[in-house]
Structure 1
Amino acid sequence: MSKTFLALLTALFIPYFTVYSQETSKEAGKYERKSVTYINALWLMDESAHRLAPEQVGVILDKVKQGITMKRFDYNPVPESFITDFVNQANSVRFPPPDFTQAQRGWENQPDAMLDSITVVMERTVVPRILEIVDLAKEMRAGNLTTEQQRNSFMSDKAKTMGITMEDIDKVMNSAFIYIPLIRRYHEDISDSAYSVGFDAGIIWFRISTKGEKAKAIPVVRKFTHSSGFGRPGQSYVTSAGIVGHRDFAFRSAVKNAVRNLVSATQDIPEFRLSGQVLEQGFLNLSFDLGKNEGVKVDDKYNIVEFIEEADGTVSQKKNGWVMVTSVGDSNSKQGYKSKAQIIAGSPFTGAILSEYPRIPIDIVFKGRMFAYKTDSVVSNGNLFDSLDLSDAYGFGIDAQYNLGRYMGINQLFFDIGFGMGFGSASGKLSLSAVTDQPKLSSSGCMAFEGSLVKKFYMGRFALMLQPLFSYQTITVLSDKVSNNGTDIYYRATNTNLGFAINGGLEIALSPAFNFGAGAGYQLMGINKDWDLEYKTGGGSWGDKSTFTNDVGLDYTGLTAQVYLTWSVPALPFDPIDMIRANAGF
């Protein structure tokens, strides 16, 4: 395989098997495992991707193999002789990487000359090899070979002539799909304090069609997502591969995120979605005939679907609600092969069909929230403030919730990391010996960094949410502009605290993708009387920090409130925890 063609991953699916699976799903809701053959390689689409080092390609291949090797598929290697010509010709198909800013503006929905070119290469190389084997079946039928010995002898002779084995013929005889994972638009951004790496990862699926006069490779699915990783120059990070530098950490983070996105994209392809049949129905719960053998996990979501034959003979799918898996059945258990799910919406009957609704195991939460803080006394006991009065702030927040429960067998258990920012009013004055006209205080702001566990308890569409958390908050008080010897000066005082809080909320499931909720909480963070003061002149930067102790106390204890929208996302551009680790340098 050419050095310039660093990788290509190709899988062949059995068409009659697939067609049978689809028909069976329509009639009885049973998922049939797909038999997959593959080449352990990855296609690098443009010049930028060819800058990847061999070690980086190895990391991508290992992670892609781990992710795409799902229990719903049976895997077999395909002989390289089937794609040698394709690999050689694909090496010559290169395009310069487009401007990255332009790529951010909806490029994935635009026609792509690269895909058109690779389709032509596919039809010129791989498709004829497949048709050679498919034609063997026609030739065998035309030869009126009636006994198994005659058929085996015929196939063995043909295999030798074609330079392949009988096993290869068995794998390719009914191939229908070919998929190609790829990397393109690889880029690095470097500064003194930050480093990032990014690339577009995607999967292109082709269906090999033998209808008509000429066989064709028809693109049926084209999915790309951009994935990034971050690091801080000079820092080291602990990973599953050991302690690595900032470049390796950023790259591995981007690869991990890309593979997670590709797994979700693969699961969402209609031919490959898991589907099952309702076996028993109870009060807001049911059992169905999928489990560990198919890779089902706790908190997986399934639509309740009904197949309807239209007047023109086509079959459409109607969604009648959805369920969420609460326990996964084991085919070897004494209780039989039954997974259990909670009915969130709809009224499924025994025999109804469930169809997988794939999502990555991370939810994003958008919040409108109130921050609790107030001064414990208006008059200063120290020498920073002449007086200070402020209370509460209102703003927004964004959280990332990682589903821990799916790996522990605990329904709806999440680890949450969050950031919030709020704004409020302030009144009073500073008391500074170096300034004649004491600065008046005009506004306040709050930033919060939080880590927590989240547990949800569902009853139909409604869910009770409990969230114990630790919060680190910074309150900033800003002054109006003051003039000193013709120079404009601004001051800011900051106060920080770390403590415990607990939130509760009531949510309603709007769909499998979205929950809307509202709730309240209580902070137990105490009082802090220590402040840091900084100033800046004109449009300069803040500096010259001074610390004041035992001044006006800021009380962080009190009630909070929030409204929020939770989104179960199909993909993310980066891993939120890794981004925080990168910026924090640990």
Structure 2
Amino acid sequence: MHIRNYFYTDRKKYFPFVALLLFGLTAINARTPGFYTRKSISHTTVVLSLGDIKLSAQEEFLFNDALNTGLHIPRFDYNPLPENVQTSFRRKLSSMHNITEQNLADEINEALVPEILKILDIYKEIRARKLVSDAQRNSFISLKAKEAGITAQQLEAVMNSSYIYIPFISKYSVDKNEDKKEITVSLSGGVIWFQVVSGENPRVEKITTLHTDTYFSAETDDRYNVNGRHLSAGEYAFWGAANTMAMNLEIQTRELDMFRLTAPITEIHRRKISFPLGTAEGIRLDEPFFVGEWVETPSGKIKFKKSGFVRVSTVSDNKSSDGQPSQAIAIKKGDWIRGMMIKEHPRLGIDIAVRPRWFEVNVESGIMASAKELFAVYFENYDSWTLGLDMNFQWNIANLTKKRQSFLVFGGTVSAIPVKSVIFDYNFLSEDYSWLDLFPVRNWAAGLFYGYAGYMRRFYLGPFAIHGEASLGTQVVSTGKIRGDDFYNDDEKKKVTISNYTLGLRLNMGLEYAVNIDWNVGVFAGLQVFPPLDWWTVKYGDEEIDVINDAWWTAPKFFSYSPTIGIYIHFSPPTLPFNPAAIVQNQMKKQGVL
């Protein structure tokens, strides 16, 4: 008997097994996330301040502006709660005392949820009355909206909302440094996410609380203007901390399972894949996605089994029906086939790189003397290699340049060089001066610092990548002393620091390897050019002033014409307590640039 005929004649024998297999696959498929569907979101403009925190109207506006910009991401449709609902919510909150982060959800349930349930009950009544036609439904909604004191559009928006978020601040502190003329604002807070459940038993259920800590500093002497509003230094620092918080909360929100982007792979061509996400969901160049499939564990749970990762290379405009799929390049590739899934891995777009580097520094002996400040310093010759620790922030600007793996880089290098110096201090008029200052101070080393900003491109070849970087920077060599007869006094005002500045550039080429989706390691080599300049400052405590070298004809020279080599460790963090680019990132996002 042919095998085909054998199975055909015994098909009844195998039918139960086939049915069981299909049932199992269907059950697994029903529990696995598929293509991301848009969510409708409602929110308040009321900021919950816990404990004894009292925000001014200006601060509340700035916080809402920053947070709503951060959390208004294209994958959501947004509907602010009606004003009368928010007014009622604010009134009830003002009568509550000792609200803490622990009981915040309970207070929201008491103050806000009943107002939302009133609207959800209208939806329940629509179904009970069996108002099928659009005319009947619209007429009933208009009537109920009038009774509730809101518009029909607002009522429908709440009825159609799936989720609600409520922002809160749990800690707010201000630190003023009069010497540095700087103010630092620290914020702790977040959002509470709720799900709106309609149906026969309409309710609002808490999903999770997202929390983050941030800080930001501003110069007290500067003037600040935000969207036509004049801000004090404290208000600007508050706004900066709020923007940093907003960026962190955006990432944390995108990491929630119900909001995380997923999509099937529609095409695979070598190391390039296509997938049906695009501008409608707000994806950007270089964003990372895991590739894998949903599998059932022995315990019966459904989990995403990863098989490598990609970075977005082309973003399509999929807001129209004929939009083309977006594309991504494989960094680490597994055994992929069409139909496998990609899963979003949200990150800030600000990476951190730590790079120990070796380079040569040269010092030609000479004297720096200031008749005005009544001191002189003598440096001896030095010519050798030194080790520095370099750390920088790499801000991905691919959406601006339209070039993949484009970065604005800013950072610094710290080191020390064993160059000997002698300081002669004759400023008798200083209130800190003592007879001990008559004796010269000999130092056996000098501090070395580089601050720089530049541009970097990276080119991936599978898990390997090469990068090129060009930057402009400042080289600072510093020596100093403690003025007065108490060397161990902690008074910062007694510290005197003498520094030489010069300007230059660095060029680097590197080879990297992607250890995983967040970490790269590698090596680099390059060249740095910092010619000597007779540019000096003296710093008393935290006050720094420019000084003229009156012994310019015999000035010491600090320079570096040197190759530089080092190792490279690169990390993509999900959040940062301090993000120097947060204000720019969030405002560019508000303008639709990012």
Q: TM-score, normalised by structure 2?
A: 0.76
What residue number does 2:107 align with? Answer: 118
Are the aligned partners of 1:284 and 1:459 in contact in 2 as well (CA < 8 Å)? no
**C-alpha displacement of 1:509:** 1.8
Shift of residue 321 of structure 1?
1.6
Which residues of 2 match residues 555-566 of structure 1 at below 5 A? Answer: 555-566=559-570
The one-character-per-residue Cα deviations of 1:345-372 (angstroms, maximum 9, x if unpaired) are 1233222211111111211222323343
457-466 vs 545-554, which moves further = 545-554
CA contact (8 A) 2:451 2:475 kept: yes
Q: CA deviation at 1:274?
A: 1.7
Query: Which residue does 2:350 correspond to in 1?
Result: 362
Deviations 1:490-513 (CA, angstroms, capped at 9, x unpaired): 997643211111112112222222
- Tell me how large the CA RMSD over aligned residues is: 4.4
The corresponding residue for 1:575 is 579
Aligned CA distance change for structure 1 residues 120 and 36 (closer, same or farther; 3 Å): closer
Q: Which residue of 2 aligns with 1:34?
A: 39
Matches of 2:449 and 2:313 in 1, distance apart? Answer: 36
Q: How far apart are 1:314 and its partner, in Å?
A: 3.2
Shift of 1:46: 2.1
Aligned mate of 1:88, from 88, 91, 107: 91
Name the structure 2 match of 1:70: 73
Q: Output the CA distance in 2 between the equivalents of 1:447 and 1:354.
A: 44
Structure 2: unaligned runs, 5 residues or longer? 1-27, 370-375, 427-436, 585-594
Does structure 2 conserve the Cα–Cα contact (< 8 Å) formed by 1:119 and 1:217? no
Shift of 1:177: 2.8
Partner of 1:13: none
Out of 155, 161, 184, the residue aligned to residue 170 of structure 2 is 184
1:17 matched residue in structure 2: none
DSSP-derived class of the 1:224 partner: strand
In structure 2, relative to structure 1, the CA distance for the partners of 1:316 and 1:440 (3 Å cut) is: same
Mapped partners of 1:146, 1:491: distance in 2: 82
Out of 511, 519, 543, the position equivalent to 1:514 is 519
Query: Structure 1 residues 151, 232: CA separation in 2 closer, same or farther (over 3 Å shift)?
Result: closer
Greater shift after overlay, 156-165 or 401-410? Answer: 156-165
Q: Secondary structure at the match of 2:61?
A: helix
Counterpart pick for 1:198 among 186, 204, 213 = 186
Give, in angstroms, the shift of residue 563 of structure 1.
2.3
Instruction: Call closer, same or farther: CA 1:579–1:517 in 2, change over 3 Å.
Output: farther
Say which SS state the counterpart of residue 370 (structure 1) adopts: strand
| Offset at residue 24 of structure 1 (A) | 8.5
* Conservation of the 8 A alpha-carbon contact between 1:197 and 1:228: yes
* 1:142-541 equivalences in 2 (<5 Å): 145=130, 148=133, 152=137, 159=144, 163=148, 170-173=156-159, 176-192=162-178, 193-208=181-196, 217-237=204-224, 241=228, 244-311=231-298, 313-331=300-318, 336-347=323-334, 348-376=336-364, 385=378, 387-427=380-420, 430=422, 440-477=442-479, 494-528=499-533
Asked if 2 retains the 8 angstrom alpha-carbon contact of 1:366 and 1:566, the reply is: yes
Contact 1:463 1:507 in 2 (8 A): yes
Deviation at 1:297, TM superposition (A): 1.1
Structure 1: where are the runs of 5+ without partners? 1-21, 98-111, 581-586
**1-side partners of 2:133 and 2:496: how far apart?**
91
Instruction: Return 198-207 or 172-181, whichever deviates more.
Output: 172-181
Deviation at residue 124 of structure 1 after TM alignment: 6.1
> Does structure 1 retain, via aligned residues, the 8 Å contact 2:268–2:274?
yes
Instruction: Show CA shifts across 1:223-267 (max 9, x none).
Output: 111232322223224655477542343233223222222222222
**Contact (CA 8 Å) 1:198, 1:228: kept in 2 or not?**
yes
CA contact (8 A) 1:343 1:460 kept: yes
Q: Report the 3-state secondary structure (helix = DSSP H, G, I; strand = E; otherwise coil) of the residue aligned with 1:31.
A: coil
Cα distance, 1:290 vs structure 2: 0.9
State how far apart, in whole Å, the 1-side matches of 2:398 and 2:488 are: 58
Per-residue CA distance 1:163-195 (angstroms, 9 max, x = gap):
477656644556543221222322222242221
> How many angstroms does 1:68 deviate by?
2.5
Give the deviation of 1:447 after TM superposition: 0.9
Match for 2:412: what amino acid? F
**Amino acid corresponding to residue 563 of structure 2 in structure 1:** L
Give the drift of 1:558.
Answer: 0.3
Q: Which amino acid aligns with 1:345?
A: K
- CA deviations on 1:84-122 (whole Å, 9 max, x unpaired) are 65443333334378xxxxxxxxxxxxxx43334325426
Q: The residue matched to 1:292 in structure 2 has which SS?
A: coil
Partner Cα distance (1:73, 1:205) in 2: 14
| Distance of 1:474 and 1:216 partners within structure 2 | 62
CA contact (8 A) 1:446 1:474 kept: yes
CA contact (8 A) 1:85 1:125 kept: no
Residues 59 and 169 of structure 1, relative CA distance in 2, 3 Å threshold: closer
Judge conservation of contact 2:92–2:111 (CA < 8 Å) in 1.
Answer: no
Identity of paired residues, percent? 23
How far apart in 1 are the matches of 2:168 and 2:379? 63
Q: How far does residue 565 in structure 1 lie from its aligned partner after superposition?
A: 2.3
Tell me, in whole angstroms, the C-alpha distance in 2 between the residues paired with 1:439 and 1:455: 47
Compute the displacement of 1:450 (Å). 0.7
**Aligned equivalents of 2:497 and 2:77: distance in 1?**
63
Normalization by structure 1: what TM-score? 0.77
Contact persistence 2:478–2:498 (CA under 8 A): yes
Is 2:42–2:163's contact at 8 Å kept on the other side of the alignment? no
For 2:114, the aligned partner's letter is T
Q: What SS is found at the alignment partner of 1:355?
A: strand
State the 1:399 CA deviation: 1.3
Structure 2 counterpart of 1:129? 118
